[in-house]
Amino acid sequence: MSFSNVSFETKNIEKVMKSLLIIDKPELTDNSINDVKSISDNQMEQFVNLNKTQIQERDIILKIGNPGRFNRRVFDSFSSIENIVPVDPIDFSYYRENTVPTATNSTTLAASQGTFPEVWDELYLRVGMYEDFDLMYSDNGSFITDFFPVMDIQFTKENVRDLSQIIKVFATQKMNDNNLTKSDFQQTFDDFMSGQVTFQNDMLNQIFTNLNKTLPSVKVNNTQSRISKLDDKGGALKTELWETFKNFNDRWISGQDVKNKTLFEQFLFLDKANRPIGNKVIIDINQLRGFLKSNLAQTSVLDLIGTILEKNNFIFMPTPSYANFYGRNERVKEGMPNPAFSDVANNTFGTFLEVDTHTSEPKLLAIYVGKPAEKLNTSPENDNYLYGDDSFDISIPSQSGVRATEDGVTNFSDRNKVVAFNVDFGIQNQSIFKSINIDMSQRKNIAPTFQVLADMGAQADGQKVAQQSVSLYNFYKAASYNCSVTSMGNVMIQPTMYFNLRYVPMFYGPYLITSVTHDITTRDFQTSFEGVRMSKYSLKMPNGLISSVNREIVQNYLSEVRRIPTLAGSTADTVTRSTDIKNSSTKSGAKTQIADNQKCVAVQKINKPYVDITGKSITQTKFKTLIDGDELDTYSNEKEAIAMAKEFIKQYKGR
């Protein structure tokens, strides 16, 4: 705002009253009545005009000053009355000898001014210079400088600034009584302070006495308060619940338009390149039905949705503060990028000289990522490791699996930019990233993790889940490579970003950030984020039946085929097992316990001669067509065809 065209005028109350009441001398006549009336009319006219121009048509600031410069804390600290001295009084320290000139020492005025120039400048400014002989500064001292040795207060700039008004009072008292001592002045000062306290108390008592007489009486009915069941001893339970609801409101509800927006608008279904995956995802209804029957009473809606997503190759991440780097946080039908946010992503680690903000909203993210990276890059250091790296270098455009074109996109509110940054750990010229931690824990909610947990549950259920060999390959194959990084505080880092780990052997590559934690203290600000190493292979879109549901059906069918019954040679048991196998796609079979001395026994004798297998070649295109399920109708049982194809692949891998 510019004040170049604004006029200021300073007036005190005396000038205002003069301008309202004093008029120019009128021409008097011999008629005193008319002269008085003329003067009063002119005075009233001037009063009205000045009131209109000076008060009504102007913005007036009324300043009520402190002409005595009374500082309550300074005066109370100087007092010796116990009930007046503040809790945190000012320490004026003790006087040091020969600091200022007096009649009894040899310190000159020039020597004192040369030793304490800043203190004397403050004394001239706050107290002033006087021509009176007793107040004039000289080699024999002054009633002003005598304040410090008499009252035993150190001669400092701060003391001169705070005690300037009391110094003037001391000099005045010294002029009236040249033999004024410390106790005499202290007693006079304490009497003054006591009188002020008494005056204030009398004034408050008079005010409240009149208020009690004037204000109507109010009758208060004492009602017995109801004690809630949450009011335990100390109220810890109620306080904990209140903090829980408060945090939930601050993170998810506050500032949201819950009347005009639906909860589903806060969901984003994205792939690993932050692109929308479409409007259709096919899930296994039988699996969902079994989950609802067993855990519905103890399951919340959020847990139910998270379980459905996580069992179908999604990573479910509720994020209380999610920023769209296109500048489109609100979901709309057609939302083009906001040009004002074009450089926000590039400035994630930028330097700013002023506080800036970026809008964000709570979002429920469902990231369709599938399997993470399973194989590290050990070549050419390890020639015995024959598996290639299944990750990619996100900095190389030709290898990046998350690059996407924006041509033809009409809605940028349901997608986001792929923001990635390098984590260069171990080099000398970086001080942003402090530490890293890499592990293969099973904590991440991904498809391989659920497979391991399902196998553990099946083992407790009495089913055989042991590996076919003692190799740990299948165990480590189900693990994901997680990396945790601690860096300098950065609030712009959020889930779904990528960081490219470099200068770390084997584990370098892109990591999808799944969780971010900010630690803000009085002296430090740190950001910790965790990511999972991503694969360069992408899953088929989740609207294909064979890629999402039939895989589970075939897996259930194969597990039933491989199960060995506990009772051998029984015709009834054979019929029961056959029935269980046929119904395995819709319900689980009977729970069995593996015998201690398990042996391979025949469940049915086949009295047919041995027939050699007739080989039949099949092309890769034909085999892919059968797997995709386009020509499964030619078989009598689709599930058996898929099972045979899958067994063929497993046998081929085991050769």
Q: How many CB atoms lie within 10 A of CB 485?
A: 23
Mean pLDDT in residue range 337-350:
81
Neighbours of 581 (CB within 10 A): 15
pLDDT in tens, 539-569: 767 665 555 566 666 767 777 666 655 444 4
- Is residue 72 classed as helix, strand or coil in its secondary structure? helix
Q: Are residues 450 and 575 in the same domain?
A: no
Note the pLDDT of residue 646.
Answer: 60
pLDDT at 282 over 80: no
pLDDT at 413 over 80: yes
Same domain assignment for residues 516 and 574: no
Give residue-wise pLDDT tens across range 17-57.
Answer: 777 777 787 788 888 888 888 888 888 888 777 777 766 66
Distance CA 109, CA 101 (A): 6
Could you say which of 146, 168, 194 is where a domain stops? 194
Residue 570 has pLDDT above 50, yes or no: no
pLDDT at residue 594 greater than cutoff 50 = no
In a domain, 547, yes or no: no
Domain identity same for 264 and 127: no
Residues 426 and 309 in one domain: yes
Helices (DSSP H) in 51-108: which residue ranges?
72-78
Q: Is residue 7 domain-resident? A: no
Residue 586 has pLDDT above 70, yes or no: no
pLDDT at 636 over 60: no
Range from 23-32, 227-236, 350-359, 585-594 carrying the lowest mean pLDDT: 585-594
Q: What angle do CA 524, 527, 531 make, to 5 degrees?
A: 160
- The more confidently predicted of residues 609 and 251 is 251
Answer for the pair 146, 134: CB distance below 8 angstroms, yes or no: no
Q: Which tokens in the block code for residue 545?
A: 């039946």
Nearest to 175 by CA among 129, 135, 124: 135
Same domain, 79 and 146: yes
Whether 272 and 357 map to the same domain: the answer is yes
Lowest mean pLDDT across 111-115, 200-204, 422-426, 633-637: 633-637
Amino acid occupying residue 2: S
The residue among 400, 270, 278 whose CA lies nearest residue 322 is: 270
Residue finishing a domain among 533, 554, 580: 533
Contact assessment for residue 316 and residue 365, using Cβ atoms and an 8 Å cutoff: yes
Residue 610 has pLDDT above 70, yes or no: no
Instruction: Say which residue, 304 or 96, is predicted with more confidence.
Output: 96
In-domain check, residue 49? no
Res 591 pLDDT > 50: no
Answer yes or no: is pLDDT of 229 > 90. no
Looking at the fold, whether 313 and 405 belong to one and the same domain comes out as: yes
Does residue 16 fall inside a structural domain? no
What is the rounded distance in angstroms from the CA atom of residue 315 to the CA atom of residue 370? 8
Per-residue pLDDT at 593: 46
What distance, in Å, lies between the first and last C-alpha atoms of the chain?
81
Instruction: Name which residue leads in pLDDT, 159 or 328.
Output: 159
The pLDDT value recorded for residue 152 is: 92
Q: Does residue 274 have a pLDDT over 60?
A: yes
Q: Which helix (H) or strand (E) holds 198?
A: helix 182-214
pLDDT at residue 368, as a whole number: 84
pLDDT of residue 575 exceeding 70: no
Mean per-residue pLDDT, 116-133 = 89
Answer yes or no: do 460 and 572 share one domain: no
Evaluated on CA atoms 572, 577, 582, 588, the torsion sign reads: positive
Residue 428: the pLDDT is 78
Asked which of 572, 589, 605 is the last residue of a domain, the reply is 605
* 380 and 518 assigned to the same domain: yes
569 torsion bin: left (phi>0), alpha (psi -120 to 50), beta (else) = left
Residue with tokens 């693990």: 479
Residue 199 lies in a domain: no
pLDDT of the residue at 352: 77
Please indicate whether residue 583 or residue 305 has the higher confidence score (pLDDT).
305
Give the pLDDT confidence score for residue 3 in this predicted structure.
Answer: 44
pLDDT higher than 70, residue 5? no
Question: Has residue 520 got a pLDDT over 70?
Answer: yes
Burial degree of 446 (CB within 10 A; 0-12, 13-18, 19+): buried
Residues 171 and 310 in one domain: no
Q: What is the pLDDT of residue 251?
A: 79
Task: Please classify residue 20 by burial: count the beta carbons closer than 10 Å to its beta carbon, then call 0-12 exposed, 13-18 middle and 19+ buried.
Answer: middle
Q: Which of the given ranges, 389-403, 423-437, 448-462, has the highest pLDDT on average?
A: 423-437
- 161 confidence band (pLDDT: 50, 70, 90): very high
Q: Which of 399, 454, 414, 433 is nearest to 531 (CA)?
A: 433
Question: What is the model's pLDDT at position 641?
Answer: 60
The pLDDT value given to residue 187: 92
**With contact defined as beta carbons under 8 Å apart, do 475 and 441 qualify?**
no
Q: How far from 310 is each of 307, 316, 335, 444, 609, CA to CA, in Å?
A: 5, 6, 29, 10, 49
Q: Could you count the other beta carbons within 10 Å of the beta carbon of residue 637?
A: 12
Q: Confirm if 534 and 510 have CB atoms less than 8 A apart.
A: yes
Kindly state whether residue 215 falls inside one of the protein's structural domains. no
Taking the C-alpha atoms of residue 270 and residue 322, their distance in angstroms, rounded to an integer, is 14
| DSSP class per residue in 594-649 | --SS-----SS---S---PPPP----HHHHHHHHHTTTGGGSS-HHHHHHHHHHHH
Which H or E element spans position 436?
strand 433-439
Q: Are residues 340 and 443 in the same domain?
A: yes
Helix runs in 251-327, H state only: 285-295, 301-310
Q: Encoding tokens for residue 587?
A: 């319900």
Q: How far are the Cα atoms of 302, 371, 375, 417, 511 from residue 499, in angstroms, in the given order? A: 29, 18, 18, 14, 5
Rg (CA), the chain: 44
* pLDDT at residue 562 in the model: 66
The answer to whether 238 and 230 are in contact (CB under 8 A) is yes
pLDDT in tens, 58-69: 666 666 667 677
Pairing of the two strands 509-520 and 433-439? unpaired
Structure tokens that stand for 508 in this block: 């370098």
What's the number of domains the chain is made of?
A: 4
Same domain, 173 and 288: no
Stretch among 11-20, 283-292, 404-413, 632-641 having the lowest mean pLDDT: 632-641
Q: 216: which DSSP letter?
A: P
Does 414 have pLDDT greater than 70?
A: yes
pLDDT tens for residues 455-513?
555 544 444 444 444 455 555 555 678 899 999 998 889 888 999 998 888 888 899 99
Strands 420-424 and 498-502: parallel
What are the distances in angstroms from CA 271 to CA 275, 415, 417, 551? 5, 9, 12, 20
Residues pairing with 513 in the sheet? 531
What type of residue is 116? F
Selection from 330, 169, 184 nearest residue 257 by Cα: 330
Q: How far apart are CA 246 and CA 242, in angstroms?
A: 6
- Provide the residue type at 567 as one letter: L
According to the model, what pLDDT value does residue 359 have? Answer: 79
Least confident residue range of 209-223, 276-290, 477-491, 633-647: 633-647
| Higher per-residue confidence, 32 vs 573 | 32
What letter does residue 513 receive in the DSSP assignment? E
Largest CA distance in the chain: 156
Residue 627 structural domain: 610-655
Q: Which of 172-186, 403-417, 478-492 has the highest mean pLDDT?
A: 172-186
CB 74 within 8 A of CB 90: yes
Pairing mode of beta strands 361-368, 267-271: parallel
pLDDT at 581 (0 to 100): 45
Where does the pLDDT of residue 393 fall: very low under 50, low under 70, confident under 90, or very high at 90 and above?
confident
| Helical H segments across 379-538, by residue range | 447-460, 473-477
CA distances from 611 to 72, 300, 541, 608, 614 (A): 112, 57, 43, 9, 9
Does 454 reside within a domain? yes
**CA–CA separation, 190 and 185 (whole Å):** 9
Q: Where are the alpha helices (DSSP H) in 22-69?
A: 32-50
Domain assignment of residue 460, yes or no: yes
| Amino acid type, 568 | A
In whole angstroms, how far apart are CA 483 and each of 69, 396, 437, 441, 529? 63, 21, 6, 10, 8
Distance CA 69, CA 45 (A): 39
pTM > 0.85: yes or no:
no
- Mean residue pLDDT of the chain comes to 76
Q: Which of 134-138, 301-305, 363-367, 446-450 has the lowest mean pLDDT?
A: 446-450
